Structure 1
Amino acid sequence: MRIKTIITTLTAVSALLTLTTACGGDGSQADALGGDPFAANGKAPENGTAFQKLPKAGSMAAAARLVNGYTKCDQVSTSPGEDGPSEDAKLGPAYTVTETGYCGRRNVTTIVMYKDPKAFQTAFKAEMEKNGGGNPDSGIVVGRDFAVGSQSADAMAALLQPQAGLLMLNCHAGFNPPSGFRKEPALVKGCVLTDYYKD
């Protein structure tokens, strides 16, 4: 099923970015981005929406540095390698993806940079609805201009640590996290941003 392939490709990112892969760091987002988690594009607004408070990378290198602060992603390639997602897992034009990077060998982490976050979320939701959605407690890890998914559940969970500043885009109609987890409106009706993920 294509949605499972997409979620495997991007699973917080997936998400997370989804982001134990062969793509980690020492756990410090500040170190990953040179001392400031929003160094690429300035500080996020203090009183903005949950989406506006997400990190904005500005480039694949900056997104990879952020991911590497939480799960191994020190070498990014434009090729998925032998163990990465297949060509048919690539996202179509509706996602507005401008660049795709891969890190890791056995558990590949995928990072995509996108141009239009609302269009990206709309396309992700439509794909899920079309294919039945899969795991209601999963999605993809997102920033303001990038998304991350990993074949590793540990990597996805690592990217949702509060200090990472990232959240998971979840578009499952029945999503209902346990109390204490975030469930903030996304840019598209029917989707939420959350720090809850269960493989």
Structure 2
Amino acid sequence: MRFKPLLITVTATTALLSLTGCGGGDNPTLGGIGGDSVATGGDNAYNGTGDGGPNEGTLDNPTKNGGVNGNAPKDGTAFQKLPKAATMAAAARFVNGFTDCDPIRAIPLDSGEPSTGPDQKFLKSAAVIERGTCGSRGRTSIYMIKDAKAFQTAFKAEVAAQQGGNRNSGIVIGQDFAMGSESSDAMSSLLTPQAGLLMLNCHEGFTPPSGYRKEPALVKGCVLTDYYVD
């Protein structure tokens, strides 16, 4: 499984990196992470209620029940200032404020289908505790993360294993969630100052044009940036 800069494919070697590199395609899931059964609904679909109300995680109510930014300090490192969701519902509502992310549908972590994206080995090493796809066609994927440093370490390893790829791409992250999409516009919308998310870029030698951010990530060899080109 590979995070091909935001377009997760169905193969073990390209699924992860594809979560981060978009570009369209016929795969109706975000970054190719989810399968058709997820995109079309079913017993695993979230109903968007029961975890803090319909406004949790929105810009109108960002802190309810630990919603987005509920624990983000005003001062701190670039990573510490990133939005923090606490729940999948809050993360999805936040993303939906900038790009289509409704409804959110769950993908079981123990799913053995390659079409659902990242394999079990990566999910475990990356400390992913929940995942889902959202949008009318399930074109965007969200991962809830228990250990941010473990996630960044695992992502860095996947980028290195890819041996190439788009140097100007990565995966969009908050403090406790990550987002990837088939749509480059969706990815870019989350990197605006209004959204406040940043892209985790672990490509060796990455240097954005002047005026773009290049902040230290939690692991050496990766940076946080607002620069992204599909």
Tell me the TM-score normalised to structure 1 length: 0.81
8 Å CA contact 1:10, 1:110 repeated in 2: no
> In the alignment, what sits opposite 1:71?
99
Alpha carbons of 1:89 and 1:59: their partners in 2 closer, same or farther (altered >3 Å)? Answer: same
8 Å CA contact 1:32, 1:69 repeated in 2: no
2:78 to 50, 61, 80: 50
8 Å CA contact 1:170, 1:191 repeated in 2: yes
Alpha carbons of 1:36 and 1:181: their partners in 2 closer, same or farther (altered >3 Å)? Answer: farther
3-state SS of 2:209 partner: coil
- Cα offset for 1:34? 5.1
1:6 and 2:16 aligned = yes
- Cα offset for 1:46? 2.1
- Cα offset for 1:6? 1.4
Bigger CA drift: 126-135 or 136-145?
126-135
* Deviation string, structure 1 residues 16-71 (Cα, Å, up to 9, x no partner): xx89xx9xxxxxxx996152445515252222000000010000000000000000
1:86 to 102, 107, 115: 115
* Pair member with larger Rg: 2
3-state SS of 2:132 partner: strand
Cα distance in 1, alignment partners of residues 90 and 70 from structure 2: 13
Alpha carbons of 1:162 and 1:100: their partners in 2 closer, same or farther (altered >3 Å)? Answer: same
* Deviation string, structure 1 residues 151-174 (Cα, Å, up to 9, x no partner): 110100111111101000000111
% identical aligned pairs: 60
1:198 and 2:229 aligned = yes
Alpha carbons of 1:185 and 1:79: their partners in 2 closer, same or farther (altered >3 Å)? Answer: same
- Cα offset for 1:112? 0.3
CA RMSD of aligned residues (A): 2.6
Cα distance in 2, alignment partners of residues 111 and 93 from structure 1: 16
Cα distance in 1, alignment partners of residues 59 and 221 from structure 2: 36
- Which of 1 and 2 has higher RCO (CA within 8 Å, sep 6+)? 1
- Cα offset for 1:99? 0.3
Question: Any gaps of 5 or more consecutive residues in structure 1?
Answer: 13-17, 23-29
1:128-147 map, 5 Å? 128-147=159-178
> In the alignment, what sits opposite 1:25?
none
1:98-113 map, 5 Å? 98-106=129-137, 108-113=139-144
3-state SS of 1:120 partner: helix
Tell me the TM-score normalised to structure 2 length: 0.71
Question: Any gaps of 5 or more consecutive residues in structure 2?
Answer: 5-14, 23-29, 32-38, 40-54, 109-113
8 Å CA contact 1:32, 1:66 repeated in 2: yes
**Corresponding residue pairs, total:** 181
* Deviation string, structure 1 residues 111-145 (Cα, Å, up to 9, x no partner): 00010000000000011111214100000000000
- Cα offset for 1:92? 2.8
> In the alignment, what sits opposite 1:15?
none
Moved over 3 A (4+): 36-39
3-state SS of 1:2 partner: coil
- Cα offset for 1:108? 1.0
8 Å CA contact 2:57, 2:85 repeated in 1: no
Cα distance in 1, alignment partners of residues 84 and 184 from structure 2: 23
